[in-house]
Structure 1
C-alpha cells in the first residue's frame, strides 16, 4: 500500500498542469470550410483586433480584410460594433439589432470563443427587406410563374430603366426562342415592336407573329418611375381557356400589396385583392357588386363612364379623383387601366392607401392655419392692449378722486373690472399666438399637478371625481408653473362641462423615451425624451368633424354665453410656447384624452427653493428724479405721465425715438427713459442704443403690448426692465420705482 501510494504521488507531481499544456494552433482551414456553409458573413478576430479567419460572404460584403469593429461603415454602426466587442469580451456574447453598410443592413451576434477565450466570433446576417419589386420577381420565377407559363401567360418584371429583372419561360420562349437563354438585364423594348395601328408584336416573330395584349401593373407609387409587372397573352388564337388564364392572374394579383381589382365592361367586380379592400377599410366579402357604389353620388357617373371608356377603347390608363361614401371629406386617386385577353376582365382598378399621407397633409394644413390665426391674434391683442392701458389708467386716476360710496365710484369700478376682463381675453389671445410673457422654471410635472389638484377638485364639483397617477423616472421640464397650472385647470374645466351627469377626470404623468417616440412613428413629434401629461375624461366626447378645430380661437360647441372658445386655444399656445406638443383623441360617447409632450430639460437643474416666502408688503412708491416717456400712442403717453407725476417725478414726453434723441441733443438729461418698443420712424431699442452710444449708460424701462419673449432679441441690452401692457397706475409706478433702484 505504501509503494502504491508513492507511485500515485509521483505521477501526480510529475504530470504537467493544464496551464502548462502547449496547445496546438487552430486549423483555420477547417474553420473557414465550416463558415462557408453559412449564408451569413462570418469572421474571427483575436484579442489584438486582427482578422484571422472569414468566409466569402464576409469578404464580399466588407472589403478591406479588416475585423470588426474596423469595418468601413458609418459612425453610428462603428460605435455599436465597438460596444458589442467590449461586451462580448466581458460577458461572453453580445448582439446588435441592426448596422448599416452602404444600402444594406445586418444583424450582428458576437461570441467569445477558443480554448482560452482568446477569439471573438462575429456573425453578420443580412436583413432582407422584401419590397414589392422583389416580391414580383419571386412570384414570376417561382411556382406561380411556371403555372402561368403552362397556361400561355407571359410574365415579366421590369426595372425602372426598362430592363428585364425576371421573366417566366413562356415569355423567354417567345422572345428569344429558348427558355434557357438568359434575358435578365436586357432592355424589354429590344424584344418588342409596334405597328402603325398601335398593335404590339414580338420582334423575333416578324410579320408572321400574332399581336399580344399587355397588362401593365405599376410596382411603385410613382407611375413615371417605370418599374412594372407585365402580363401578356395572344390577342388572337388563345392557346388556353380564358377562365384558366384569369385564375392565374388573380392568384398573382392577390399576393401583391397593391390595392388591385378586376372589373368587367359592365362595371361589375370580378376580383379584388385584400389590399384593395384594406384601403376601403372593409372586407373583400363586403365589397358591393359595382365600384360606383363605393363613392358618393356626385362621383358615381364619373366612375361608370371611365370604366366603360377604358373597357371598350384602346389599352390606356389614367387616374380620377373620387370621394368614398364612407369618407366623403377625403379625396383618393382611383387608377383605371384597360386590359385585353383575360375573358370577362376588361378593366384593372388600383387604389393607393394614402390615409397616412392625407392625415399628414391635414395636420400640416391645420398647423399652417393655426400659425396664421396666431399672427393675426397677436397683432390684434397688441393694438387692443394700448387701448386697454388708457382705459384702465384713466379709471385708476378717476378712482383716486372718488371715495367708496360716491355715486360715480361704483360705475368707474365696473368699467375697470370689465377692462380687466378684456385684458384677460387679450392675454389668452397672446397665449394662443405664443406671444405672452412667460417666466419659465425647471420643474417636475408631478409637483405642478399636486399644487393645482386641490383647486381643481373644488372647481370640478361633487359629481366629478379626480384621479391622479404619476409614472416613475420623469425628467425635469422647463416651463412657467403658473401657465402650466392654467393648462391643467382649463382641460379639467372642459372635461367637467363634457360630463353633465358626472364622471371621472384622470390626470397622469409618464416618462417617454426616445425609443418610445420612435415606435410611435409620429411625423410631428421629433425624436427625443419627453415628460407626458395626460388629461382624460369619461364625457360625451368630440365629434370627428370638430376635432380638428378645437384649438382654434373662439371655436366652441357650447351654447351661446357659456364659453368664449379661448380655453383650448390658450392651452395650445402655452404648450407650444413651452416647446411642447399637444394631441387630442376622442370618440363620441367614449370621452376625450389630451396628451401633452414636454421636452425633458437637459442641463443643470437648480436646487429646490426651500426658503419661506415673505408676505407681501406694500411698497413706498414715492420717488424723485427726471423721467422721459417715449410713446407713440397719445392716450398711453398721457396716462403714464399723469401716473408718474403723482408719484413725485419730473416727467417729459416724446412721441418717438427721434424726438427723444433731439431732447438729449439739446442738453437735457434724465434718470430713466420709459419707452415703447414698437414705434414709427425709430423704435425703442434703436433709440436706446443711440442714447447709450452717445451719452453713456442710461437706465431703460421698455413697455409693450407684445410679449417679452417675442422681443427678447430686439431688446437684448444690459440693465433693461420690461413692463407688459396693459398696466395700471399702480403697476407703472412699481416698475419705475424698481428701475430707478437698479445700479
Structure 2
C-alpha cells in the first residue's frame, strides 16, 4: 500500500502555534467572561483551524509531489541477473543504466547507438532505436563488435514510455565459439590431453583463442597460464598459432620449440561454424610411425568431445561405416527412429551415393585436406546441403570426420527470396504486356465503334462487328487481370466492412455454387473497418469461391460438399503468437474461405499464386484467377495465405489491416447521372499519342463529334504544334512516350497557358502513374476505351467536371 506524504516541520510548527493560540484565547475568555461554554467554543475553533492547516499542507504536499522516482540500484540489480548485455537510455539519449556484461562486450559504457561498431552497425543500431520509439520495439541482427557478433532487441519502456531498453545477445556462432573455448580450457580439454590429444580454437586471423594444457606445455615448454616470459611462458591466448610450428623438407609438421628432432605432428582441422570470419578448431596428434595407437580411453574421450559439439559431426571408420553421430548431425540429416543408418551413403539420394562413398574412401586412405561437397538428403531431395569431409588419424578406429550443417531455414529463406524476385519480374513483364495490349485493344474497339456507326442492327456485317467488339472487351478484362496480378491496376479504395462486401455477392455466389455445393457464411463480432476497393474485393471473393467449387466437384461430383466463408477479427496479440516472418504485428480483419474438396498437393501449393499456373484441363483455365487475387490483396496492403492437406480440403485466409479512421456510414449508391445523347462538341483539341493506330482512332472519333483536332507523335512535336497554332481548348495526351513524355510536355505548356485543361490517357494504371501526373486540373482515361468513352471524357473536361 502506498504511504501518504508525512507532515513537514513547518506543518508541525504551524499546528503548535495554532493550538497554543486556541488554548490562550480559551483561558482569556474564561477569566473575563467566566463562561466555560464560551471558552470551550474558542478552544474547539482553534483545534478546527489547526486541523485545517494540517489537511491543507498535507494535500498541498501530495499535489506538488513530483513523479515517482526510479530506483536505479534496483534496476541495475535486475540487469545483472541477465547474462546478456543490457542498457537503458532516456528520451534525451543519455545512458542511465547498464550491467557488467554491457561493459565487457563494449569495453566500457558507451551510449547507444554510439557503440564501437562499423558504420553499417551504427546505422542499423540508430534505425532500430528510432523504430523502437515509433513502434514500441525493434531489432537489428549480426552487429560486429570488437569481440563478437551480437543481435540487439530495443524495447520502449517506463511509466511514461520515455525509456529505451537495449538488450544485446551474442549470435549463435559466437555462442558456439564460447562453448568450444570453455570445453577446451576446462576439464574436457585436460582429459583429451591425458590421451595425447592437443586441441586449440584458432581465430580467423590465425591467433589462438583457447588451447588445452598439453598444447600449451608442448608449445611453450610449460603451462602458459602460470608464468610469463618470452619463449618460456606467458599466456598463449592471442598469439600467432603458426609461429609455434615448423615444417621440414618432407612436409612434416613439428613444434618449433622441439626443433627438427621433435615428434612429427598430425594436424586435423575440424569443420566448425560457417563463414569466413568464423573460428577454426584444430587438433594436433603425435604422428610417429611406430607410436602405439590411441587406446580405448582416448577413443572414448574423442567420442565424448564429438557428442558435446553443438554442430553436426560424425565419425566414420576405414570401411566407410558410421562409428558415431552426435545429436546435431542426426537432426541436420533428418534421421528419426531407433535404427540409424550404417553408411553415409544411406543418407543421400541414389545419384549422390557413389560420390559420397568415393570421397570417404579417399580421405580414409590418407588424404590430408578437407573438402566440401553438395549432396541431397533422401528426406528432402530438393534442398542440397553442404557435407564437409576431413581425414582423421590417431583417433582409434575413426578415419574420417563428417560435418553436416542444418540449413533448412536458410534454404527456406532462399526459396522465398527467389520466389519474390521471380514474382516481381513476372509482374513487371505482365504490366508491360498489358500496356502494349491495351493500345492494340483501343485501336480494335475504336474501329469497331466507328464501323458500327455506319451500320444498323440487321445489316449483314453488324453482328460480326459486334462480336469482334465483345471479344475485344473480354481481352480487355484479361489485361485488367494482368494489371491486378502485377499490382498496377487503378483502385478506388473506400472505408468499408468485409461482411458488407460478402453480402453484396452472396446472391451471385449461390447461383455459382449450384445445387450440389452448400454455402455457409458466418461473420464475427467487433470487426474493424478496412480500406480497399469494394469491386476488387468482390472479385477476390468470387474467384476464391469458384476455385473452391471446382475443387469440391472434382473430388465428389455427385455428392458435392460445403463452401464456408467467414470473417473474423484478428488482434495484434494473436498475430504475435503466430510468430510469422511475413505478417507484421497489427490488428487485422480476416476473410477465410474453406472448402471440403480433395485439397492441394504439396508440390502444387507453392505455385498456386504464380501467373498462368493451373491444374485444370487444357482450355478450361487461364491460370490468372489466384494470381489476380494475390495482386489485389497485396495492392490493398493485405496478406493472403493458403493452407491445405491432401484429402482435407483447402483454406485461404486473407488479412486486411484495420483502418485507423472510423468507418463511414454506408450510403445508398448514387443513381447514374443521365447524360444527354448528344455528345457533339466544338473547339480545338491537341491530340498527342505515339501509337499511330491509337492516334488515328482517337482523331477520327473526336473529329466525328465536331472538334477540330491537331495531332502530334510525342511531347516535343506537341510543343511545336502549340507554338505554331496557339492555345487549344483541350490537350489530350498519352502519359508514357519516347523523347518527351506527357507530364513533361504539360508542365512546359502550362508555363505559357496556366489554365490549359488536360486529359491524360494510358495503358498503365492511374495508380502507377500518379506521381508523374500529379498536376492540377487534369483528368485520366484508362485504355482501352471506346469512341463514346473518349467523347464523354473530352466533353466532361471541357465542361469543367
Provide the TM-score with structure 1 as the length reference. Answer: 0.79
RMSD over aligned Cα, in angstroms? Answer: 4.6
Structure 1 distance, partners of 2:666, 2:169, is 55
Counterpart pick for 2:534 among 481, 502, 517: 481
Counterpart pick for 2:743 among 667, 680, 685: 685
- Deviation at residue 642 of structure 1 after TM alignment: 3.7
Alignment of 1:676 onto 2:676? no
Native 8 Å contact 1:274 1:283 kept in 2:
no
Alignment of 1:629 onto 2:687? yes
- Deviation at residue 609 of structure 1 after TM alignment: 4.0
Alignment of 1:155 onto 2:191? no
Structure 2 distance, partners of 1:673, 1:129, is 62
Counterpart pick for 1:327 among 349, 368, 380: 380
Native 8 Å contact 1:624 1:650 kept in 2:
no
- Deviation at residue 381 of structure 1 after TM alignment: 1.6
Residue segments in structure 2 that go unaligned for 5+ positions in a row: 1-53, 59-72, 88-93, 117-121, 160-164, 227-234
User: Could you tell me which residue of structure 1 aligns to residue 324 of structure 2?
Assistant: 271
Distance change >3 Å, CA 682–CA 104, structure 1 → 2:
closer
Alignment of 1:657 onto 2:715? yes
Native 8 Å contact 2:271 2:388 kept in 1:
no
SS in 1 for 2:552: coil
User: Could you tell me which residue of structure 2 aligns to residue 23 of structure 1?
Assistant: none
Distance change >3 Å, CA 298–CA 394, structure 1 → 2:
same
Native 8 Å contact 2:437 2:479 kept in 1:
yes
After superposition, give the CA deviation of every residue in 1:328-366 in whole Å (9 maximum; x if it has no partner): 332222111111111221111111222222222222222
After superposition, give the CA deviation of every residue in 1:83-118 in whole Å (9 maximum; x if it has no partner): xxxxxxxxxxxxx999x998698999x999xxxxxx
Structure 1 distance, partners of 2:475, 2:153, is 63
Length, aligned pairs only: 682
User: Could you tell me which residue of structure 1 aligns to residue 432 of structure 2?
Assistant: 379
Distance change >3 Å, CA 653–CA 252, structure 1 → 2:
same
Alignment of 1:165 onto 2:218? no
Alignment of 1:520 onto 2:579? yes
Distance change >3 Å, CA 650–CA 284, structure 1 → 2:
same
Distance change >3 Å, CA 66–CA 399, structure 1 → 2:
closer
- Deviation at residue 226 of structure 1 after TM alignment: 5.3
Distance change >3 Å, CA 376–CA 208, structure 1 → 2:
same
User: Could you tell me which residue of structure 2 aligns to residue 214 of structure 1?
Assistant: 267
Counterpart pick for 2:616 among 535, 558, 561: 558
SS in 1 for 2:393: strand
User: Could you tell me which residue of structure 2 aligns to residue 511 of structure 1?
Assistant: 570
User: Could you tell me which residue of structure 1 aligns to residue 25 of structure 2?
Assistant: none
User: Could you tell me which residue of structure 1 aligns to residue 604 of structure 2?
Assistant: 546
User: Could you tell me which residue of structure 2 aligns to residue 714 of structure 1?
Assistant: 772
Q: Report the more deviating stretch, 259-268 or 277-286.
A: 277-286
Native 8 Å contact 2:293 2:394 kept in 1:
no
Alignment of 1:493 onto 2:578? no
Native 8 Å contact 1:492 1:535 kept in 2:
yes
Residue segments in structure 1 that go unaligned for 5+ positions in a row: 1-16, 21-30, 44-49, 83-95, 113-122
Native 8 Å contact 1:581 1:598 kept in 2:
yes
SS in 2 for 1:336: strand
Alignment of 1:250 onto 2:303? yes
Structure 1 distance, partners of 2:369, 2:669, is 80
- Deviation at residue 571 of structure 1 after TM alignment: 1.7
Counterpart pick for 2:181 among 118, 127, 137: 137
Q: Report the more deviating stretch, 582-591 or 466-475.
A: 466-475
SS in 2 for 1:359: helix
After superposition, give the CA deviation of every residue in 1:422-455 in whole Å (9 maximum; x if it has no partner): 1111111122222221122344445444544454
- Deviation at residue 568 of structure 1 after TM alignment: 1.5
SS in 2 for 1:545: coil
Structure 2 distance, partners of 1:165, 1:596, is 52
SS in 1 for 2:183: helix
Counterpart pick for 2:702 among 634, 644, 658: 644
User: Could you tell me which residue of structure 1 aligns to residue 286 of structure 2?
Assistant: 234
Give matches, 1:305-384, under 5 Å. 305-384=358-437
Structure 1 distance, partners of 2:704, 2:153, is 79
Distance change >3 Å, CA 732–CA 152, structure 1 → 2:
same
Distance change >3 Å, CA 293–CA 640, structure 1 → 2:
same
Native 8 Å contact 1:254 1:273 kept in 2:
yes
User: Could you tell me which residue of structure 2 aligns to residue 8 of structure 1?
Assistant: none
SS in 2 for 1:612: coil
Native 8 Å contact 1:508 1:535 kept in 2:
no
Distance change >3 Å, CA 534–CA 165, structure 1 → 2:
farther
Native 8 Å contact 1:273 1:284 kept in 2:
no
- Deviation at residue 486 of structure 1 after TM alignment: 1.5
- Deviation at residue 282 of structure 1 after TM alignment: 2.0
Q: Report the more deviating stretch, 526-535 or 227-236.
A: 526-535
- Deviation at residue 740 of structure 1 after TM alignment: 1.5
SS in 2 for 1:737: helix
Native 8 Å contact 2:128 2:139 kept in 1:
no
Distance change >3 Å, CA 688–CA 617, structure 1 → 2:
same
Give matches, 1:83-232, under 5 Å. 131-179=175-223, 181=226, 182-222=235-275, 224-225=276-277, 227-232=279-284
After superposition, give the CA deviation of every residue in 1:548-578 in whole Å (9 maximum; x if it has no partner): 3322322211101211111122122223333
Native 8 Å contact 1:492 1:505 kept in 2:
no
SS in 1 for 2:318: coil
- Deviation at residue 720 of structure 1 after TM alignment: 0.4
- Deviation at residue 162 of structure 1 after TM alignment: 3.2
Structure 2 distance, partners of 1:618, 1:52, is 70
Give matches, 1:437-452, under 5 Å. 437-452=490-505
Structure 2 distance, partners of 1:300, 1:61, is 46
Distance change >3 Å, CA 79–CA 497, structure 1 → 2:
closer
Structure 2 distance, partners of 1:450, 1:737, is 37
Alignment of 1:723 onto 2:781? yes
After superposition, give the CA deviation of every residue in 1:71-93 in whole Å (9 maximum; x if it has no partner): 999889999999xxxxxxxxxxx
SS in 2 for 1:548: helix
After superposition, give the CA deviation of every residue in 1:508-563 in whole Å (9 maximum; x if it has no partner): 444353994697362x5566665554444443333333333322322211101211
